[in-house]
Amino acid sequence: MQRRSKGFAVLALAATLALAWAAAGAPETRAAQGSADGTVGVDVLLRGAPDEAILAELGQYGRVAGVLPEIQGVHLVAKASAIGRIRELPFVAAAGPDRVRVAGPVATEATGFASFSGGLAAWDLDAIGVGEEGRPGRLVAEDGRGVYVAVVDTGLLKDWRDYLPESHVAVEYARSFGGGGAAGLNVSEQPHKWERDQNSHGIHVTSTILGYDLGGVPIGGVAPEATVIPVKVLNQNGSGWSSVVAAGILYVADLKAGPLKDSPVVINMSLGGPGPDPLEEAAIDYAISQGVIVVAAAGNAGEAGMDFPGAYPPVISAAAAGWTGEWVGGANWWILGDVPDPTDPGDFYIAGFSSRALPGQDLDVAAPGSWVVGPYQVNGQHSYYFLGGTSMATPHVAGTVALMAQKDPGLTAAQAEAILEATAVPLGPGCRNVIPAPGLSPAPVCWGADATGAGLLDAQAALGATP
């Protein structure tokens, strides 16, 4: 098979890089939620079904731009000043502004690999006990077979088949949703746009779960035999709205209630933003009630606190950890080094960008999220980059949950969270001296007890504790 040349590019980003989330700034400086005329997206959770009379009354405050009947939800475009009055309506359970959420022609050429179960393990798979760095094969019996992982994100690049095994991407279930916010656009499906991503965030996240083709070299994933469902809810610059995220979650929940009722389903959300949203939380509750397990990023806001939906207690949230052995031996450390076994918390650190849990927020576990390599295109060129962020930590946790669900197909969200927390390697407050990337100055990395949750993800121990 003729292959295109694929250069390997290394982006010299600081370990504190927060991907798209950092570019968006601190929570209070992110994209404005309203338009110039004062209208905003308003998410409304009702006490009962959204019948014609209720929709008509809501229409007096703004324009109805979407209805989510599974959770008795309505998306409006209205003046921000109307939110208080909407909340006072007797049939309204909750209402709030639609929240900003960020991630931080179709190619026909396939990778040539059916899966990446035998791929080389990078440092991150070694760190969680799934593989041995630089060696092919796996250290655990489970590989995710029979489990679906919905990656609710930016979708996939048009040439995703160059990187991922086509047989492990459920194209029949892949979807894209858009709209939301204050633009006056209905929250709706966008046919075929799921494989038109120009951001690369979604494919990098997916590659951690399935593995990827590195110019003809197979690199292993956490759950290489799982099946990924791409669900695009963020636009081409990696941002979007919580109302659209809710629509994506409901779509996956309905798959679980319908054609996938006999298969375990996990949602990976490497996205988030400031403040909770009633529709998003109701959609998560609905998905969990259908048997879906939801994993989300803790956020990249550091001391400013966790992002939502990661901070929502029913969600399994992921903080970002790194390895103190990074950059030892040069640029190929990520595939040629060796994370010492058994896991020693002294070999790991919590990244400075990783969101700390404020009172009332629920941080569960930490996973590799600093200097993770995967497909990432710049200017449409085939390339691979180191990326850092809780976005990168999340698929390690979601992939591990997929392995657990393969072993126990009846695994619930609460059980998965309890097992992950009980088997995590405790990582107390502290500081580490970490070798920096070329061109960066060394500096100690420090964190407190609010940064780690239960500790470092240990996939082997989690599988051992799964019935």
pLDDT for 106 beyond 90 = no
Active-site annotation holds for 204: no
Q: For the residues 209-224, what does the mean pLDDT come to?
A: 96
Query: What's residue 104's pLDDT?
Result: 67
pLDDT for 20 beyond 90 = no
pLDDT category of residue 380 using cuts at 50, 70 and 90:
confident
Q: For the residues 246-267, what does the mean pLDDT come to?
A: 98
Rounded to two decimals, the pTM is 0.90
Please state whether 184 falls in left (phi above 0), alpha (psi between -120 and 50) or beta: left
pLDDT tens profile 309-337: 999 999 999 999 999 999 988 889 999 99
Beta strands per DSSP E along 242-394: 265-269, 293-297, 316-323, 348-350, 365-368, 372-375, 384-387
Query: What's residue 37's pLDDT?
Result: 64
Domain 103-465 classification at class level: alpha beta
Q: For the residues 5-33, what does the mean pLDDT come to?
A: 29
Query: What's residue 191's pLDDT?
Result: 87
- DSSP one-letter string for 108-155: ----S-S--TTSBB-HHHHHTTSS-BT-BS-SSS---TT-EEEEEES-
CATH fold of 39-97 reads Alpha-Beta Plaits (3.30.70)
> Of 168, 137, 204, 226, which Cα lies nearest the Cα of 409?
226
pLDDT category of residue 435 using cuts at 50, 70 and 90:
confident
Domain boundaries, the chain: 39-97, 103-465
Spatial contact of 228 and 163, defined as CB atoms under 8 Å apart: no
Active-site annotation holds for 201: yes
pLDDT tens profile 257-315: 999 999 999 999 999 999 999 999 999 999 999 999 999 999 999 999 999 999 999 99
Between residues 186 and 242, the one the model is more confident about: 242
Q: Catalytic pick from 200, 382, 391, 396? A: 391
Do 39-97 and 103-465 show the same overall fold?
Answer: no
Could you give the percent of the chain with pLDDT greater than 70?
89
Query: What's residue 4's pLDDT?
Result: 26
pLDDT tens profile 21-40: 222 222 222 233 455 568 89
Mention every residue, 6+ apart, whose C-beta is less than 8 A from residue 164.
111, 156, 203, 206, 207, 210, 212, 213, 228
Q: For the residues 71-94, what does the mean pLDDT come to?
A: 96
| Cα 75 to chain centroid, rounded | 24
pLDDT category of residue 187 using cuts at 50, 70 and 90:
confident
Q: Helix (H, G, I), strand (E, B), or coil: what is residue 251?
A: helix
- Chain position carrying tokens 């909770």: 276
Q: Catalytic pick from 117, 168, 197, 201? A: 201
Q: Pick the range with the lowest mean pLDDT from 83-97, 121-135, 367-381.
A: 367-381
Spatial contact of 323 and 432, defined as CB atoms under 8 Å apart: no
Q: Helix (H, G, I), strand (E, B), or coil: what is residue 81?
A: helix
Buried b / exposed e over 306-332, threshold 16 CB at 10 Å, is bbbbbbbebbbbbbbbbbbbbbeeeee
pLDDT for 425 beyond 60 = yes
Active-site annotation holds for 391: yes
What is the overall mean pLDDT for the chain?
Answer: 89
pLDDT for 227 beyond 90 = yes
Q: Catalytic pick from 124, 143, 153, 197? A: 153
